[in-house]
Amino acid sequence: MAKHRAHRRRHRRWFLPALVILAAALFVWWSNTALQVTRFDAVFRDLPAGFDGCRAAVISDLHTASFGRDNQDLYAALEAERPDYIFLVGDLLDQYRSVPEGYAASMARALSAIAPTYYVTGNHEWALGDVPALKRTLADNGVAVLSNQFTALERNGDTVVLAGIDDPNGYADQKTPEQVAAEVYAQYGDPFWVLLAHRNNRFVSQYSLLGADLVISGHAHGGIIRLPFTDGLISHDLELFPSYTAGLYEENGSVLFVTRGLGNSGPSFRLFNRPEVAVLTLHKGS
């Protein structure tokens, strides 16, 4: 009888720690797989009236992740938001993860069926290699690739300019962001314009100085681990408590919007930082 009671005590001793470990594992799994739709509002005095209420879905940093079978959960979440545009701001693929066959093509077809979709490269596409082939695949399947280029968007009789730049990991002789900005001004005068640029951490030192009204980025993964009263715990460069990692910021007369992104690179994981489908609504204000 004594041996039986001792056996039960040993089981009870291990039960609570095992339960805690299981709960923690489930929480980490949920934090990295459960999509979260977050909605933001940005007000601009100079926004053309025709773009008042324009909704842009911003997705980034998929790193070949899949949400639901063939990403059906991701597409359903986007479709439910009824965006005017989808901005895919880099790191669709990952240098440390295998790329499922047909991943980029199926993604492009699905996104462009929901709304006009625009793409710029991130650092991981260039590290993986054969970026020209990826760009062709996306373009052949309905996505507009902005490779140091710009285009006019029209809505309700008004126009804004959308520019997109390749990641700095790209070709050494590619156009600089400053050259792209100069071309925008040369062609359109002084328009309201939006810049798609993958790297959030270049906003203060470079992108905010280009004159764009709005810069849209990813790259930060929300600071990877988000703790109360912080803008993230650690950056990709192992900088503690980075800034400009999620949401809206303003510097030098330019507004930055950063999405927390969707996937993870290599063996990294998210904590208190669920995969994000961001929806940014533009408003004209005084």
Cα–chain-centroid distance for residue 188? 28
Q: Is the pLDDT of residue 56 over 70?
A: yes
The whole-number pLDDT of residue 32 equals 87
Q: How far is CA 154 from CA 51, 136, 246, in A?
A: 8, 25, 28
pTM of the model: 0.93
Q: For residue 8, what pLDDT band results from cuts at 50, 70 and 90?
A: low
pLDDT digits (tens, 9 = 90+) for 23-51: 888 877 777 888 999 999 999 999 999 99
- Residue 184, number of CB atoms within 10 A of its CB: 21
Q: How far is CA 268 from CA 103, 120, 228, 234, in A?
A: 21, 23, 20, 12
Q: Among candidates 224, 274, 275, 283, which has minimal Cα distance to 248?
A: 283
Q: What is the DSSP string of 93-152?
A: S-TTSPPPTTHHHHHHHHHHHHS-EEEE--HHHHHH--HHHHHHHHHHTTPEE-SSEEEE
- Mean pLDDT score, 209-231: 93
Give percent of the chain with pLDDT exceeding 90.
79
The SS3 call for residue 58 is strand
Q: How far is CA 76 from CA 37, 110, 182, in A?
A: 11, 10, 39
The whole-number pLDDT of residue 252 equals 97
